[in-house]
Amino acid sequence: MGLLKFIVQRKILVSLMVVLVLLIGSFSVLKLDKELLPSIQMDGAYVEINAGEMPAIEVERNITTPLEKKILGIEGVEKIESTSNIGRSSMQMTIERGKGDEVFKEVESVVNNATSELTGVKDVTAAQYGTSQAYDFFMDVSGPDMEKMTAFAKNILEPRLEALPEVRDVSLSGSLEKEVTVKLKREELTKKGLDAAQVIGAIQQANTEATLGQLKNETNSPSLRWNTQLESVEKIKSLHLATSNGNIKLSEVADISVQPLENASLVWKNGSKDFIFVQVGRVADATQIEMADAVRKEIKKIREEGLITGGLELNEMVAQADYVKDSIDGVTGNILIGAAIAVAILMLFLRNIRATMIVGLSIPTSVLLTFAAMWMFGYSFNILTLIGLGLGIGMMVDSSIVILESIYRKKELGLKNMDAVIEGTKEVATAVLASMLTTIVVFLPIGLLGGEMGSFMIILSVVVAITLISSVIVSFTLIPSLSEKFLKLKKKEKVKKDGPLLRSYSSVISWTIGKKRHSFAIIGLFFLMLAGSMMLVTKIPMTIMPDMLNRYAEIMVPVEPGLSLEEKQEIVTEMNKALEGIKDVETNYVMDSGTMMYTIINMTKGDDITRDQKEVNEEILKSLRNLEKTVPVKGAQAAMSAGGGSPVQINISGESFEELQKIADGFTKELAEIDGIVGIENSIERTSVEQIVQLKETEIEEAGLSQLQIKQYIEQSLMQMPIGEMKINDENIPLKLKWDEETATKSALLDLNVPTPAGEKKLSNFISLKSEENPNEIKHKDGDRFISISADIEGKDLGAINRDVQKLMDRYDVPAGYSITPAADLQQQQEMIQDMILILAISIFLVYLVMAVQFNHLGHPLIVMSVIPMTIVGVILGLFLTQRELSVMSGMGIIMLIGIVLNNAILLIDRTNQLRSEGYTVQEALVEAGKNRIRPILMTTLTTIGGMLPLALATGESGNYQAPMATAIIAGLSFATLITLLLIPAVYRIFTRSTEKRSWFSKKARKSKNSITPAPEAVN
């Protein structure tokens, strides 16, 4: 205790250190970034390859399979799943933990090299999974004239926003794009003896720009440049083509015009296409809030300059910064309320303003010390770190309360100021340190929780640990320093009597430990409660991660591949009708992503809210799923779902597609009978018809043609070829070549005339067409085919569905060589439960390790840990009564609870052992320890509960994240306090022999028998 004495005597040093902490902490608050979720790069990656209209079977054969083989050969890639659709190949990779960045670079290199050699590949996207979004700020430009809207968006809005230092880039979707089309007249071209290849060559030769060389002997050696770029439609029309009868103009054999370009990515607002979707992305060193502020200021300037005219409107859709700010403000408010409740509880118990001020001062000091540590670790203000702070705020004062209460009691017993501080701190020092360590060590195994959840939980754990370490540092420095002189006692009463609470508790404890059968009765009662509570587990809703309720929803609506623009417009119209009928839905935006309609839905806010968001979300999904009956959509799911797709997904693996389909059909029928399962989809039940060209080889030879000539003729007849770009009014416009009459039907193709040495003949003389059905979607896992059965959930939670689906999979028989396994959210939840059980077991062992070292005894830690299984009773009751979800967040609350609930038990056992070492019998020591420790136990429990109460009652953006965890801790801790004060004495009584029967401490007891001093009485 020499160090403690030094600290107390150097009050100026402590004061200056506190000021330094306040300054650095305040500086850190200004420097810490603010974001919705921490920026995390996951150990996983995805590759998306666009292959135009290539059939799924060709995508699998030519793109997916070759690429899979190369990627699986990369060291560090653990598994790969792929989906081949019409014109699209999607791959998701799981990378060995800790090697995400390194392996992804190799994957990206392999993908780029491989796809550059593949024909038909139009676009490739490869990226790592992470929490960072490409775009954070969304707007729309609307008005009566699409040309004016496009001109404003491209010439004013985009360059002005991209000039801001906080903005990385601006993406425009739905703007008016143009192309110059050259429509060849088939008959005229044939008459002139020309073909399409000659026309293409002539246009490309004329539309060139190149550096030919350098005039070295001229001043400054100017370069010689050739520029015959086409800059108008008239120039294209007047191009000369060489024929056997002389030169002709291109306009004689083709119609040339500027046409609106059908957007590759179509967007709709409330069912209408007449708007431009604007997405703004931020640079890496700017926060979402900073970028949003900069964008809003620039838009305000644009308005003030009168640049938004002609009926144009610029509307803000979604700004992630608003959700960040609201979430941070909400959690910050809850922390402040929690701190105020904690201080009020202190005042109620201590009834001493100075004592309350001392502990109250430790809260901002500990918080700012935590902020300084967060800044040094490179953390930010986000939902997870703030929840960690919110959870830590209640526990933050625990160690300060225990030390202050001990010093306060010593002063009441008449000890001098310095002696009271030294003795009071010494008495509880080991208990305080052990309590902190038991709370922190439970977080060490969190790293075993893999994937995205593990990354999130590690951040949360580190912040809670930093908070607790900060609070202990403050409690051993600031509290003793202030307690020596500043802590004054109220006027001492001549005789201090126990209050009614203390007398009642002493009577109950005396009865409990008076006879062993009474102790067994108490233990039996608690075990009955534990057994009874297990019956309620299945009644608690379960999920992986709670939804983010921010009056905004992102929904994915899968559609059938190969749909026309008209069919997509019909889908969007029906989606808009469905969404317009939902109360509290304001606007909807739909983006076409090939086989997916990505939908953003804004809801009413503030005073306009009439319904809970969870209820609105459920109705949105139900309404969109009902569209399956009328339009070609395949269900709907939340874009933010943990599994990244339908919550229920089952994979059926095996060799034969026919056998797989047979198993899938039978399994689907039984799956549909499970209550709560809706929208069942089979990945290969939808097929597309493909026409296979069958050559008539004899006829081709007799006509003097080759198979290659027939192939080239068919390709030319279906031609829609991009042949370059031209610049009109400083705008690059694509050039496209096509036929004036489109060959769009089977009969039109077969009726085409093919020139032969003997004259023209119908194409049907040389080929026939055979229909063949191919699946629209083919899935692979590590290169092997499988069928995926997916379904949505309605009216039940994932946990209940998981149990029912697992029972079905267990009893469903499949042939040898075939298997049925869970995937997506089902698989993730099962893996999560296994991981959490392992983490729980390791955490319990680490807690035992810490206490065994502290008590230097193998038996006493087991007595303390007897509270752990009983704590679960409180958690189950709390979640059942509030119907909060059992998720990763509430699971984290349970793991935290292990450390928290042991703190009170450690205080009680530590004091009991101290009293027994002074010569008290087991019964006397337990009663006296209970009287000594009931006040700090109740105070620390109530301040922790008070600090977390606002989090448990929280609503809004982050309420769903905070509330389940806080509810689990409050309910478990409340029950654990009752357990500690009744169960611990009962267990200790049974497993410890009394002093009359050769006590464990009998030698020590006999030595100190003649110098026994009465234990100080606790002040009620």
- Closest listed residue to residue 929, CA positions, set 996, 1006, 1013, 985: 985
Q: What is the mean pLDDT of residues 907-934?
A: 83
Sign of torsion, CA 201 203 209 212? Answer: positive
8 Å CB contact between 825 and 641: yes
Q: What is the torsion angle, in degrees rounded to the nearest 10, for the CA atoms of residue 220, residue 223, residue 224 and residue 229?
A: -130
pLDDT in tens, 399-434: 888 888 888 878 877 788 888 888 888 888 887 888
CA atoms within 13 A on the CB side of 470: 28
Estimate the crossing angle of helix 320-350 against helix 383-396, to 10 degrees.
0
d(CA 921, CA 988): 12
- Close Cβ partners of 35 (under 8 Å, ≥ 6 residues apart): 287, 288, 324, 380, 381, 382
Q: Which residues contact 550 (CB under 8 A, 6 or more apart)?
A: 323, 326, 327, 613, 956, 957
Predicted confidence at residue 499, as pLDDT, reads 66
Per-residue pLDDT, averaged over 893-908, amounts to 77
**Is the pLDDT score of 899 beyond 80?**
no
- Range of lowest pLDDT (129-143, 660-674, 681-695, 739-753): 681-695
Q: What percent of the chain has pLDDT over 70?
A: 90
Class of domain 688-775: alpha beta
Q: Count CA atoms closer than 13 A to 286's CA, side-chain side.
A: 21
Residue 642 has pLDDT above 60, yes or no: no
Given a cut of 90, whether residue 296 has pLDDT beyond it is: yes
Q: What is the CATH number of domain 186-252?
A: 3.30.2090.10
Which of 149-163, 370-384, 561-575 reaches the highest mean pLDDT?
Answer: 149-163
The residue type at 76: G
The CATH number for 32-133, chosen from 3.30.70.1430, 3.40.640.10, 3.30.499.10, 1.10.3470.10, is 3.30.70.1430
Enumerate the domain spans of the chain. 32-133, 186-252, 688-775
Tell me the per-residue pLDDT of 207-264, one tens digit each, with 9 for 90 and over.
Answer: 888 888 888 888 788 888 888 888 888 888 888 888 888 888 888 888 888 887 765 4
Q: SS3 of 240, please?
A: strand
Look at residue 1019 and tell me whether its pLDDT is greater than 50: no
Nearest one of 374, 480, 478 to 424, comparing CA atoms: 480
Name the residue among 333, 542, 457, 466 with its Cα closest to residue 893: 457
Q: Is the distance from CB of 762 to CB of 752 less than 8 angstroms?
A: yes
CB 710 within 8 A of CB 754: yes
Residue 498: its pLDDT value, please?
A: 65
Q: How far apart are CA 958 and CA 323, in angstroms?
A: 9
For the cut 50, the answer to whether the pLDDT of residue 641 exceeds it is no
pLDDT band at 957 (very low <50, low <70, confident <90, very high): low
The DSSP secondary-structure symbol of 699 reads H
* pLDDT surpasses 80 at 452: no
User: What's the mean pLDDT when you consider all of the chain?
Assistant: 80
Backbone angles phi, psi at 742, to 5 degrees: -75, 135
Burial class of residue 188, CB neighbours in 10 A (0-12, 13-18, 19+): middle
Say if residue 663's pLDDT is above 50: yes
**Three-class SS of 558-606:** EECCCCCHHHHHHHHHHHHHHHHCCCCEEEEEEEECCCEEEEEEEECCH
Residues 6+ positions from 448 with CB-CB distance below 8 Å: 454, 835, 838, 839, 842
pLDDT in tens, 552-586: 788 888 887 667 778 888 899 999 999 988 988 88
For the cut 60, the answer to whether the pLDDT of residue 1008 exceeds it is no
- Are 364 and 312 in contact by the 8 Å Cβ rule? The answer is no
Amino acid present at 585: V
- The Cβ-side half-sphere exposure at 63, using a 13 Å CA radius, reads 35
Q: What CA dihedral angle connects 792, 796, 797 and 798, to 10 degrees?
A: -40
* b/e per residue 6-24 (b: at least 16 CB within 10 A): ebbeeeeebeebbeebeeb
Judge contact between 291 and 321, C-beta under 8 A. Answer: yes
Q: Tell me the mean pLDDT in the region 871-877.
A: 86
pLDDT at 879: 86
Q: What confidence score (pLDDT) does residue 550 get? A: 66
The pLDDT value given to residue 999: 41
CA terminus-to-terminus distance, the chain = 29
How far is residue 237's CA from residue 249's CA, in Å, rounded to a whole number? 7
For residue 831, give Cα distances in angstroms to 449, 787, 837, 888. Answer: 9, 21, 10, 12
| Domain 32-133 matches domain 688-775 at the CATH topology level | no
Is the pLDDT reported for residue 161 higher than 90? yes
Asked if the model's pLDDT at residue 271 lies above 90, the reply is no
Task: Determine the Cα–Cα distance for residues 509 and 925; give it in Å rounded to an integer.
Answer: 11
Residue matched to tokens 């395949």: 634
Distance CA 976, CA 707 (A): 84
With 90 as the cut, is the pLDDT of residue 591 above it? Answer: no
3-state secondary structure of 945: helix
**Cβ atoms of 319 and 600 closer than 8 Å:** no
For the segment 49-71, what is each residue's pLDDT rounded down to a tens digit? Answer: 888 778 888 888 888 988 888 88
Tokens of 605: 């806010």
pLDDT class of 955 with cuts at 50, 70, 90: low
Residue 1018 pLDDT = 39
pLDDT reading at 1002 higher than 50: no
725-763 tens-digit pLDDT? 888 777 778 888 888 887 878 888 888 888 888 888 888
In three-state secondary structure terms, 51 is: coil
Q: How many residues does the chain have?
A: 1020
Quick one: pLDDT at residue 995? 38
